[in-house]
Copies of this chain bind each other. A is one copy, B any other.
Amino acid sequence: MLRIAVLGAGRIAKIHAANVAAHPNATLVLVADPWRAGVDALSTQLGCEAAYDCATVLSREDIDAVVIGTPTDTHIDLLLAAVAQGKAVLCEKPIDLDIAKARSAAQTVERQGGKVMLGFNRRFDPDMLRLRQALDAGQIGAVRQVIITSRDPGLAPRDYLEHSGGILRDMTIHDFDTARHLLGEEPVEVSAFASRLVDPTLEQIDDYDSVMVLLRTASGKQCHINCCRQAVYGYDQRVEVSGASGVLLTDNHRPSTVRHWSAEHTEALEPLQHFFLERYADAYRNELTQFIDALNEGRELPTSMRDGLYALHLADCALESVKTGRSVRVSHNL
């Protein structure tokens, strides 16, 4: 039984804590967050200890691993402290919004032989796992073009957006990781357009709400990402991979399969699943299971600090392309 502490009591941390509590091969020892009301409610519901200081719990001997679900700007301090105490870490992405800090943290972790897994939850989505399996089985031959559609149901609050690092680092970063995961080869060139089509006042915070990106690998494989902060029809998450002998496509999820044919329309009863908490519930569960299984069985963690670094660098390259009107070369010396 792996003994786990969850740091954070917010939206994502709650999901992780419940998944740990329900996992047959792990024990949820405690939940820690300076936000006392949140921690108290969560620990009562899940039957575990409550702690109000994240840093101090990291030295406890009865904890094997920590899940970090706190605000982005605390990630590096907590993960380095956890690694220093010999704890395995599952850390929410991104490592940090500053690539230099993130690079430095990754180097420290690597030097210390730390076990850190980055929470790229979408890799663990059942559709994505099945797609990866089909690719590995050669069902479409060599990959040629990848198309990723990634739209949120609605614009986040301005307060959130101001500290998000911008759409490319906050939202598209997931898709950059998906692109790397599916291309099977590192992108070497990035080109991007960004617009304010949902809310023109985003100019005040130098951010955008709609982006289109192109990626190219050394062998010429191509990837397109389209991202928008608002899709009133629901959370739009689709992926296509075309290869030499076929194409694989995933579809959005709906709350039920019920279709309705009326005199006005056919095949319709409901919008798409609302947002990532519904859409990626299984992904979060699978992510945690792979983290626990890998630790229990002494296997390598399925994602790394380096994955986090690369995704962040691609976001930075895309932003540079938006600003300069040029395609940008991707560095591989991160």
Contact = CB atoms under 8 A, between A and B. Distances in A.
A290 interface: no
A113 interface: no
A262 B236 contact: no
Interface stretch (A4-12, A99-107, A156-164, A208-216): A208-216
Nearest to A129: B256
B126 A262 contact: no
Contact of A193 (B222, B251, B253, B259): B222
A222 B233 contact: no
Given A189-B193, A216-B195, A234 B266 contact: yes
Nearest to A329: B325
A238 to B, nearest CB: 9
A15 B261 CA distance: 29
A268 interface: yes
A144 B288 CA distance: 37
A230 to B, nearest CB: 8
A311 to B, nearest CB: 20
B326 A226 contact: no
B272 A254 contact: no
Interface string A259-288: 111111111111110000000000000000
Contact of A264 (B45, B211, B214, B271): B271
A19 to B, nearest CB: 12
Interface string A188-229: 010111011110000000000011101010011111101010
Given A248-B258, A270-B266, A147 B147 contact: yes
Nearest to A127: B256
A258 B256 CA distance: 17
A56 interface: no
Interface residues of A, number: 76
B24 A22 contact: no
A221 B251 CA distance: 24
A261 to B, nearest CB: 4
B271 A126 contact: no
B210 A144 contact: yes
A130 interface: yes
Interface of A: 22, 24, 45, 126-127, 129-131, 134, 139-140, 142, 144-145, 147, 149, 151, 189, 191-193, 195-198, 210-212, 214, 216, 219-224, 226, 228, 231-234, 236, 242, 244-272, 325-327
A-B interface, 7 closest residue pairs, ranked by CB to CB distance from nearest: A195-B220, A268-B268, A265-B268, A233-B261, A246-B262, A251-B257, A130-B256
